[in-house]
Amino acid sequence: MYDREKAVAYARKWALGRNPDFMDFQTMGGDCTSFVSQCLYAGCGEMNLTPVYGWYFRSARDRTASWSGVKYLYQFLIGNRGAGPRAVEVPETELIPGDVIQLGRQDGTYYHSLFVVEAGRPAARDNILICAHTDDSLDRPLDTYFIEQMRCLHIQQ
């Protein structure tokens, strides 16, 4: 069962710092998706240890692309039928704390993952707060981002 409160508490605790239990991907293209994965893990408590297509981080040399890659995390969350979190795409109005946003370009490539820590009802860009790494952010309003495309992922488990 996904504990949204634990996931949000983790996001707020580590938004402006780095948990030494995990690798910092800042110099390898950014730490945003690894941070989101850490938040999800804090909320669900289990990794998917399936080689290649699972979702886990044991060490810098023993991890899946889905732990730290925007595209691969999306593919894992949407397609997962095993252990670990899973998600469905929803309109931004249905986002709640503990969900994930990914930002993309007009050409359809997605490049940044954000973790939702607060969302008004109905959720809208002016009342959603996020935590993120790469450009470290704690309770940053979503409407302060330049957004060409956005996909919203509601975590189900």
The pLDDT, as a whole number, for residue 138 is 98
The pLDDT, as a whole number, for residue 137 is 97
Angle formed by the axes of helices 32-44 and 70-79, nearest 10°: 30
The 10s digit of each residue's pLDDT in 45-97 is 999 999 999 999 999 899 999 999 999 999 999 999 999 999 999 999 999 99
Range of the domain at 49: 4-17+25-155
Phi, psi of 116 (to 5 degrees): -80, 125
H or E segment at 37? helix 32-44
Domains contained in the chain, number: 1
